[in-house]
Structure 1
Amino acid sequence: MVDRHLIDAHVLLVDGDRLLLSQRGGTDEFAGRWHLPAGKLEAGESITVAAAREANEEIGVVIDPSDLRVVHVAHVTGSGQEARLGLFLHASRWSGEPSNREPQKCFAVTWFPLNEMPSNMIEYAALGVRAFLDGAVVSFSEHGW
């Protein structure tokens, strides 16, 4: 195992009683499974800026980083080749209509009723969704960015 941890930012985009999920593309063990719009932090980037950037790159929506609230933090192994720290952020506002902007990485982008999440979600993403649905409140701050 590599001697580092990845940091992922996951975006929970909720419209009324629906949550937006993306279906992973590719050929690995996660292909065809549902996940949240997400991605890894880049050098010099804060969590909220990374989440807003990933949402724009993957699904074409614009989110002001100040409209993101952390609802869950998960430190996991077994979800890829490296251990990771995942931060799940709920977007209170955004602009634009979500669409699949990365068809080479994603099979579909679909709204799901909050009470009917797909059974084939990636377990790691399901943790953050479950925490959000259970009303999780997480204290979080950024300093020095």
Structure 2
Amino acid sequence: MPITAQHIRATVNAYLDQRPEDKRKIAVVQGLLDDDGDLTSRKTLPGHVTAGVILVGRDGRVLHILHSATGKWLLPGGHIEPSDNTLLQAAGRELAEETGIPPYVVTPHSEIPLHIDVHPIDANPVKDEPAHQHFDFRFLFRTTADIGELQAEEVADAAWRSVESLTDEQLKRRVVRTLLKDPFAT
């Protein structure tokens, strides 16, 4: 069963129960849910939901991918597919597709995202997409595996980087806090 507005709303509510300070930042998502838009479709404007992964390896570093279209180092993730049942599953699928790391060697930290980021996406004339926003539900996963075969169409490279390399300060603080509370056992 595809991801529903009800599932997205429940995920947002669970997230805000843990992180009420983010209410204003993600109010746009709640407003669009109230408007009954299909936030899982990449055609939905002014924005739509995506699923991302903060993958922490055995040494505490975070996996980054070099996104071919943007030329930027990003966290793995992407658009929702009709076959996705949950946002967490979508994040795991995107991770496997982009990095070749199979789902059975990663463990999610929680079914609640560690971070929901709202960020602008530039227009993409090749895909006939105007500028819009991504509402990126980012889940923390852990693994002892290494990078597999990269999805050549979208990913030019992948590298493990320190938590300090995360550019979003709020995300960085949350990752550090989570790792301090629940260190990864190898």
Give me the TM-score of the superposition, normalised by structure 2. 0.55
**Aligned residues between the structures:** 123
Q: What's the CA shift for 1:96? A: 4.3
Residues 44 and 103 of structure 1: CA distance in aligned 2, closer, same or farther (over 3 Å) = closer
Residues 128 and 135 of structure 1: CA distance in aligned 2, closer, same or farther (over 3 Å) = same
- 1:25 is aligned, of 68, 74, 83, to 68
Kindly indicate whether structure 1 or structure 2 has the higher relative contact order, using CA contacts under 8 Å at least 6 residues apart: 1
Q: What's the CA shift for 1:51? A: 0.7
User: Kindly, what percent of the aligned residue pairs are identical?
Assistant: 16
Q: Does 1:133 align with 2:183?
A: no
Q: What's the CA shift for 1:66? A: 7.0
Name stretches of at least 5 consecutive residues in structure 2 with no aligned partner: 1-42, 123-130, 179-186
CA distance in structure 2 between the partners assigned to 1:99 and 1:18 by the alignment:
16
Residue number in structure 1 paired with 2:38:
none
More helix by share: 2
Q: Per-residue displacement from partner, 1:16-72 (whole Å, max 9, x unpaired)?
A: 22111001113xxx22x1101101111252101101111111111123697243101
Question: Given that residues 10 and 38 in structure 1 are in contact (C-alpha distance below 8 angstroms), is that contact kept between their aligned partners in structure 2?
Answer: yes
- 1:67 is aligned, of 108, 113, 118, to 108
Residue number in structure 2 paired with 1:112:
161
Residue number in structure 1 paired with 2:89:
49
Residues 13 and 24 of structure 1: CA distance in aligned 2, closer, same or farther (over 3 Å) = same
- 2:137 is aligned, of 68, 87, 92, to 87
CA distance in structure 2 between the partners assigned to 1:91 and 1:44 by the alignment:
21
Q: Secondary structure of the equivalent of 1:52?
A: helix
Q: What's the CA shift for 1:14? A: 0.7
Give me the CA root mean square deviation: 2.8
Question: Given that residues 22 and 37 in structure 1 are in contact (C-alpha distance below 8 angstroms), is that contact kept between their aligned partners in structure 2?
Answer: yes
Name stretches of at least 5 consecutive residues in structure 1 with no aligned partner: 137-145
Residues 83 and 110 of structure 1: CA distance in aligned 2, closer, same or farther (over 3 Å) = same
Give me the TM-score of the superposition, normalised by structure 1. 0.69
Q: Which structure would you say has the larger Rg?
A: 2
